[in-house]
Each structure stands twice: as structure tokens, then as C-alpha cells.
A and B are shown apart, each in its own frame.
Chain A
Amino acid sequence: MTKPSSYLTALSRSGAGTAALLYLVLFVAYASVERSALSVSAFSDLINNASPLAIAAAGGTLIVLLRSFDLSVAGVISLVNVILASYPLEDATGAGISLCLALAIGALVGLVNGVLVAYGGFQSIAVTLATMIMTGGLALVILDAPGGSVAEWLSETLTDTLGPVPISGLVLLAVVIVWAVIRKTDFGVSLYAVGQDEHAAALSGIKVQRTRCLAFVIAGALYGLSGYMLSAQTATGNPTAGNSLLLLTFAAIALGGTSFRGGTGGLTGSIIGAASLMLLQKLLFSIGVQSFYIGLLQGVVMILAVSLMNVGEWFNVRKA
């Protein structure tokens, strides 16, 4: 096998490859309809809009890889958003502390989830449903109506561009790089092993419970980061900020090529999947699709995209 073709098969086999292809198709369609699409500000808007969902989807991917569910994404995002808007800390140092705070809150919720699911043996959908409700309620306690205001430095900088590159894009890139590193570690390998076959993984010495718990913690931290980015985008607090992201997160994960049966896929694909979802909205707007039917088309695209990925997977399996 020559290098390019084996590289291509690897690409087509990875979820990220098909996700990127989908995004490319959508972007070409969008750019052909909307003349201003290729400008720096338009592209930066796209990335800014997609970044909260993308990072949330990245976090969720870790859990889906383990064949579990994590519904607490909605609650963590709302909670972080509300805290950042109610207690804004100015300047770069303030933003740094706020970042640590956001990550810590997310990781804490993730730890609760992880302990109960991995060590307690409870079902992830049930536990995370309960933690989602509780964190959402906590957000309402802290801020009972939209208001507050996020630190200016934070909202100005994170929606700005560094030259032609949007800063939120840099954050996404950082997440991808960190993921690439993690993937090579023991934890990363264990993650995939446990997702594909838990019994076999356990028998080969992998600490299943620890892997699972750690996955929830990291996912929680990523949700915290997503709330951070959302706060920068909207510049204010909203106690129900995370609710609309719940189902979209899983849609993005599916579009990103991660299988819900666990063991295949990755963060990069989910990030691209999230970007595709947001781009689809803009594309439909530009084409002038009548508002009512935008939902229809979104649903159809989701089904088609995942079906095609499954068909592709089927072909790959047959070839192998």
C-alpha cells in the first residue's frame, strides 16, 4: 500500500474525516450563495458562534466514547455562565482566574458524575439527568433572570481576532492539540479500549473505573470551558443558557462521526460537527428557506449524514 492511499483510508475511516468533508460541502454551498462569506469578519463570526457548542460536543465525545450519556452539559454551562456574569473579574488576570473557576466547577460536577457512575455503578443517564437538574436549579438560585454582565476584557478579547485568526478559533485549536496529546497517553488508549470492549479491557489490566471517572471529570472541565466561551459571546448571564445546547451537543457528536456504540470517533470530529450544525443554519438562512422548514431540513441532514457515515463504515469493514 502506498502511503497516500493508506492515509486516505485512515482519514475516511476516522470520523473527523467525514465530518470535515461535510463541513467543506456546506461551506462551499454557503460561500456560493453568500458573497460575504469569505471575509475575515464573517468567518470569525462563524467560529465565534460555533465555539461554545463545539467545546461542549468535545466534552460529550469523551463520554459517548465510553457508551455512556452525559446530560449535565446543560446545567454546567448555565451555572458557569451565571457565575461569570454575577461575579465578573476584570482584566487579563481576572479572566485567567475566571477560566480556572469555570474549569473547576465543571470538573467538580464531572467528579460527582464520575464517582457515581464509575464506582457507584449507577446508570449514567440517570445520574447526569439528576446533576443536570440540580446544577440548572443552582444557576437559577444565583441569577433568577437574565442579567449581570461578564467582564469586559473577557468578552472583548475572546470575540476578537489575532490578525486574520479568531481567538475563539485558537481556543478550539488548543483543545484539539491537548486532545491529540491525551490520545497518546495511557488514558487515551484506555478510553477507546473500554469503549470498544469493557470486559476485554478489564482483563488486559486497564483500570476501567478510573478511566471512566477521569473521562467524566475532563468532560466536565470542557463543559466549563464551553460556558466560559458562551459567556464571552453573549457578554451576559442567563440561568437557562445551557438548555438549548443539550440536544445540539449530541447532534454535533453524531455528525462528527463518533459512534454511539462507543470506541470509535474523536473530539476533532465533534468540533467540526458542531461547526457544521451552525453553518447549516446560516446556509439555510441565505438560501431563503422558509423559516418553518429550517427544522425539517436540519433533521433530514442529520439523518442523512449519520446514515452515510454508517454506510461508509460498512464499506470499510467489508474492505478490511
Chain B
Amino acid sequence: MSSVQIKSPDSAQADAVNDAPPDTATADTRKSSRLSRETLNIAGVFLLCVLAMLAARWINPNAGGYQQLETILVLCSFLVVVAFGQGLVVLIGGLDLSIPSVITLGGILTAVWVGADGGIVKTCAVLAACAGVGVLNGLGIGIFKVPAFIMTLAMGIIVYSLCLGATGGSPNGVSPKALTWLMSGRTAGIPVIVIFTVIGAVIAYLVQSRTRFGIRLYAMGSNPTAARFAGLHTLRLTLMTYALCGLLAGVTGMLLVGYSNGATLRMGEPYLLPSVAAVVIGGSAISGGRGSFLGTLAGALLLTILDMIISSLGFSQGWRTVISGAIILFAILLQHEGAMDYLRSLKGRNSTT
């Protein structure tokens, strides 16, 4: 009977009624122990970020510390926005593979339709369109029970080919002045986008962990059946979450247009796997119900820093890819519950027995 011990987190079935929460001692202890593990994980990832920056400094002492930090913050803004959306979807046990196409959609609509003059109304319309794609995703997943993987994958393909067909392959257009200012302007010596990202990150954290909406998402992700019995309108929550994810992807597209004053059809491609990686490294469970935005933020930061360092190492592309895969694996191994419990116990007997 040695296999009774179920360790795979994949087993946290989202819709099994008999999925009783593994309670050991009192509910309090369980909750605080889970919080501690999460916090430890997030702290670990941030620590890795710092170590990585120090390693970069060591490799090339010329690298001006502040300049590098600034570039990292600017470049990781795209991933942070996208990963927040993906994180929300993962929280309810789903996955959004249409993100690259919605980024492209947002970018193309902004560059071609909103253009240089760009008004608030048009911009909102673009964001609404992107959110609309998310709503369609949510409908397919919530009503027709199409698995999230397939629904979002198919929607992504559909949206992409619509973009391809409408632009004939090469979208023309320029960035609205406001966006260009957002991405390259500075106030008080700090790039505007960094301020934007910081404010956005605070809002994101609050939304996910402190608002009723966020808490309901956690409930739904942990146990949808129980959530429904508790009166949560799961379909509405699903629609809102996917719509929000689509909206955020559209925002990312706009940021990218502001950054390079134009849109291309492959704008969104580099953000699919990293958005999932950031969320997972940050400690969220793919089965839903667990994870904090701070973790996702740390994951996004780590991925951006790693990317920079590895490309400056001078190895061939093959080895670079192997190394980045190994580091991602390492970051995941860090999340091993046993290892974390061991580390926590090293700090002395605290709340857990």
C-alpha cells in the first residue's frame, strides 16, 4: 500500500466531488503552511533573480548596473502583463493558448486602425475586441465544455488567420503618439513604462489576492463543484477571467506597438510559452486554485533576466537553449514540497509541527 501517498499535483482534480482537501491538523495550520510554502517559493525565485543579476555583472563588469536594470524592467513589462492574464486563467484551472494571436490582434488593430492620432474611443474599441475573443473562449469552455487547451488553441488559430487575411501578410500603420510616449518617454529620470508596470503590478496583486473577484477565482479553482454549491456563478467568472486575459493580451499588443512603432504578424509568438513558464515558476498550480501574482511577477522577471544573461554568454544557440531549459527545470525543482518543508524546518520550529 505504499502508493497511497499521492504526490502528483496533477491529481488535484478540479471537478472530482470526492477530492477532499488533505487536512492533517487543524485548518489553520494547513492554511498557514501553504502560505509559508508559497512565500518561500516566491522568495526563492526573487533570490534567483538577484543571483542572476550578480552573475551577469561578474560575466561582464562593463555592464552598467542601472542601465541594465532599466532595460530589464522595460523589456519584462510585456511579459508581466501577459503573465498576469495567463495566471488568472490558470488560477481557475484553465489555460489560454490564444494569447499570441490576441496580442497580434491588439497590435494590428492599434497600428492600422487607431493609428497616429488615436483616440480613447478607438483604443477602448480595440480592447473590447480583444476581450471579446476572451469571451468566446469562455463560452466554449464554460457552455460547451470544450477543454481549455483546445478551445483557446483553435481560437488562436482563427484569430491569427483573420489577421493574416485582413492585412495580407504585412500590416501597415504606426503607433499612436500616446503609446510611443508611454514606451519611450521619461519622467523624473525614470522610464514611464516602468512606473506603469509598477502601478500595474500593485493593482494586479490587489485584484488577485484582495478583491472578491480574486478570492472567488481561488475558490473556483480549488473546487468548482463546491464553489457552485456555495453559490458562485462559475460561468460568469469563467467569462470574466478569459475576457480579462484577452484584454491584457491586447494591452500587451499595444505596448509592443508603442515600443517599435508598428505591428507585425509574429508579434505575439514569443510570449506563449514564457507566459506559462512565468506562471508555473511563480508557484501556481496548473490544476488551479493556487498561486499568487507576486510569484508570477518573480517568474517573469527571472525569465527576462535569464534571457539577457544567457545571450551574453557567447555559447552556440543550441547550448543556450539547453542551459535556459536547465535553469527553468531548476527553478521548478525548487518548488519541491519536501525540500521546502525541510528548509522551513531548518529555520526552527514555527507554526508547523
Interface, chain A (partner B; CB < 8 A): 66-69, 116-127, 129-134, 136-142, 144, 197-200, 202-203, 205-210, 212, 239, 247, 250-251, 254, 259-262, 290, 292-296, 298-300, 302-303, 306-307, 310-311
Specify which of B160, B318, B336 is in contact with A295 (CB 8 Å cutoff). B160
B324: chain A residues within 8 A (beta carbon): 133, 137
Q: Is B112 an interface residue (CB 8 A)?
A: no
Specify which of B8, B146, B276, B323 is in contact with A129 (CB 8 Å cutoff). B276
Q: Kindly report which residue of chain B lies nearest to residue A247, judged by CB atoms.
A: B153
Q: Report the minimum CB–CB distance from A189 to chain B (whole Å).
A: 15
B3/A137 in contact, CB under 8 A: no
A66/B10 in contact, CB under 8 A: yes
User: Could you list 21 examples of A-B contacts with CB < 8 Å?
Assistant: A66-B10, A67-B10, A120-B7, A121-B9, A122-B336, A123-B280, A126-B277, A133-B321, A140-B318, A197-B18, A198-B6, A202-B3, A202-B4, A209-B3, A210-B3, A251-B150, A260-B150, A293-B161, A296-B165, A302-B150, A307-B144
Specify which of A121, A141, A254, A260 is in contact with B8 (CB 8 Å cutoff). A121
Report how many residues on chain B are interfacial, defined by Cβ distance under 8 Å: 60
Report whether over half of chain A's contact residues are helix, strand or loop; otherwise say mixed. Answer: helix
B15: chain A residues within 8 A (beta carbon): 261
B316/A292 in contact, CB under 8 A: no
Specify which of B7, B155, B317, B338 is in contact with A299 (CB 8 Å cutoff). B155
Specify which of A120, A129, A208 is in contact with B328 (CB 8 Å cutoff). A129
Q: Is B213 an interface residue (CB 8 A)?
A: no
- Other A-B contacts than A126-B281, A142-B318, A303-B150, 7 sampled, CB-CB below 8 A, are A119-B7, A124-B10, A203-B4, A259-B147, A262-B13, A299-B156, A299-B158
Interface pairs A-B: 3 shortest CB-CB: A137-B321, A295-B161, A140-B318
Docked complex Cα distance between A298 and B154 (Å): 8
Given contacts A66-B10, A137-B318, A138-B318, contact A130 B326 (CB under 8 A): yes
Docked complex Cα distance between A141 and B320 (Å): 9
B13/A198 in contact, CB under 8 A: yes
Q: Kindly report which residue of chain A lies nearest to residue B3, judged by CB atoms.
A: A207
Specify which of B144, B161, B319 is in contact with A137 (CB 8 Å cutoff). B319
Q: Is B307 an interface residue (CB 8 A)?
A: no
Given contacts A122-B9, A126-B280, A293-B161, contact A137 B322 (CB under 8 A): yes
Docked complex Cα distance between A88 and B145 (Å): 47
B325/A133 in contact, CB under 8 A: yes
Q: Report the minimum CB–CB distance from A86 to chain B (whole Å).
A: 13
A299/B18 in contact, CB under 8 A: no
Q: Report the minimum CB–CB distance from B6 to chain A (whole Å).
A: 6
A254/B150 in contact, CB under 8 A: yes
A126: chain B residues within 8 A (beta carbon): 277, 280-281, 286, 328, 332
Q: Is B337 an interface residue (CB 8 A)?
A: yes
Q: Is B56 an interface residue (CB 8 A)?
A: no
B316/A140 in contact, CB under 8 A: yes
Q: Report the minimum CB–CB distance from B175 to chain A (whole Å).
A: 25
Docked complex Cα distance between A197 and B17 (Å): 10
Most buried by A among B6, B19, B157: B157
Q: In chain B, residues 312-349, which have Cβ atoms closer than 8 Å to a Cβ of chain A?
A: 316-326, 328-329, 332-333, 335-338
A120: chain B residues within 8 A (beta carbon): 7, 333, 336
A69/B280 in contact, CB under 8 A: no
Q: Report the minimum CB–CB distance from B78 to chain A (whole Å).
A: 19
Q: Is B285 an interface residue (CB 8 A)?
A: yes
B321/A206 in contact, CB under 8 A: no
B337/A247 in contact, CB under 8 A: no
A206: chain B residues within 8 A (beta carbon): 3
